[in-house]
């Protein structure tokens, strides 16, 4: 194994620098400089030449040592990965009491879902905010059996949603919390088997490729006989798949532009404007399969007769974005979610957003009272939501 390849494998959870010859080389050079310097001061012949040779070696060794320090420091990704690994190990398990309390609180506000739509909803949620982890076949060096994991990730405010999902799935899975992030993890074999049965032929994105790898893994390791899952080609507005997908990546926006008069720095005045928008963003490429998400995003644009745009971010790379602002097309969005309800905290955003939509229909957004009410509603939506 080449050194470059071997260095990618680490036997410990911490970052340690590689063995370096420069400390002992520099120490030797420094000792030689000191010795020859003292001898030259006492009048020994030809020691001056040795002093300058030792001084050159000292400067060279310090320079090369400093070069290696800089090179090691630029490998920040190694430090980041180990730090990230450390953070994941400090996640906290959410108690059953907290889950039960979240489930009780949820019944007061949120809608439920019929059993015939739960599988479609979970499919959309998994493809938007989920991850399928598949280990290698066989046991580990400690003779532990590694099972695959299906992980749903969301904000901690959505604990009520995942408590409800767990209750609908018969109590399978467990919860972890890290800062403001919650993870619903299904890793036991019975839970994996149930998820495969529910989501079989219900997925629409490249995650179906990973899902089929999961099926193959389960079949080989536990002698199941699940067939390969095919992409769902049905109309996405005829079931709850789109609801789950929006629950993960969709947003209901209200945009308010305050009026601004002319000034020395502003050549033209800006009039007050209020607009509403539905937006759905998704990475151009699925991380686990490196496959494009373009087909499903184009299908969504066809359903709502809107345009698909693309932009780039430093964190996520290329992003595909569906944006709808037309009142007539937003009506289709509202009619869909009135039938296939959102189940998480995004449901509250939809209710508030729908109220503002109705104010647009009634022209109340043009009145002073209406504008103030819209501003109040916007102040408690999306990232600013309290309840």
**For helices 47-73 and 22-41, what crossing angle results, to 10°?**
160
Share of the chain above pLDDT 70, in %: 87
How far apart, in whole angstroms, are the C-alpha atoms of residue 374 and residue 89?
43
Residue 145's pLDDT is 61
Q: pLDDT tens, 91-109?
A: 677 888 888 888 888 888 8
Residue with tokens 């190694």: 78
Residue 387's pLDDT is 60
Share of the chain above pLDDT 90, in %: 50
Query: Exposure string (b/e) for 39-69, b if CB count within 10 Å is 16 or more?
Result: bbeeeeeebeebbeebbebbeebeeeeeeee
For the ranges 92-106, 151-165, 306-320, the lowest mean pLDDT is seen at 92-106
Regarding pTM above 0.85, the answer is: no
Q: pLDDT tens, 64-82?
A: 888 877 776 655 444 444 4
How far apart, in whole angstroms, are the C-alpha atoms of residue 329 and residue 344?
23
């Amino acid at each position: 194994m080449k050194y470059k390849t071997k260095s990618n494998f680490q036997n410990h959870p911490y970052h340690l620098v590689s063995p370096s010859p420069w400390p002992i080389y520099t120490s030797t050079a420094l000792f030689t400089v000191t010795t020859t310097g003292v001898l030259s001061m006492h009048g020994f012949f030809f020691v001056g030449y040795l002093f300058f040779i030792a001084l050159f070696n000292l400067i060279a060794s310090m320079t090369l040592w400093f070069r290696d320090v800089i090179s090691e420091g630029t490998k920040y990704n190694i430090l980041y990965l180990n730090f990230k690994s450390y953070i994941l190990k400090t996640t906290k398990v959410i108690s059953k009491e907290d889950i039960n309390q979240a489930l009780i609180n949820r019944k007061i506000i949120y809608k439920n879902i019929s059993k015939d739509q739960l599988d479609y909803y979970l499919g959309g949620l998994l493809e938007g905010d989920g991850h399928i982890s598949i280990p290698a076949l066989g046991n580990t060096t400690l003779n532990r059996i590694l099972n695959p994991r299906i992980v749903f990730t969301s904000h901690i405010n959505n604990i009520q949603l995942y408590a409800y999902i767990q209750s609908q799935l018969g109590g399978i899975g467990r919860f972890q919390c890290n800062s403001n992030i919650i993870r619903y993890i299904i890793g036991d074999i019975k839970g994996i088997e149930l998820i495969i049965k529910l989501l079989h032929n219900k997925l629409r994105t490249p995650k179906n490729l990973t899902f089929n790898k999961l099926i193959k893994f389960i079949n080989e390791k536990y002698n199941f006989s699940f067939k390969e899952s095919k992409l769902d080609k049905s109309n996405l507005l005829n079931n709850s798949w789109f609801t789950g997908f929006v629950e993960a990546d969709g947003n209901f926006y209200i945009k308010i532009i305050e009026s601004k008069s002319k000034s020395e720095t502003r050549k033209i005045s800006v009039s007050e404007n209020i607009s509403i928008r539905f937006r759905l963003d998704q990475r151009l490429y699925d991380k686990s399969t490196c496959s494009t998400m373009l087909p499903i995003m184009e299908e969504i644009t066809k359903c709502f007769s809107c345009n698909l745009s693309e932009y780039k971010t430093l964190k996520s790379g290329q992003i595909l974005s569906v944006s709808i602002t037309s009142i007539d097309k937003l009506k289709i969005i509202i009619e869909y979610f009135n039938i296939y309800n959102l189940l998480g905290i995004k449901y509250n955003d939809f209710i508030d957003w729908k109220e503002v939509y109705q104010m647009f229909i009634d022209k109340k957004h043009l009145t002073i009272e209406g504008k103030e009410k819209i501003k109040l509603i916007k102040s408690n939506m999306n990232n600013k939501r309290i309840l």
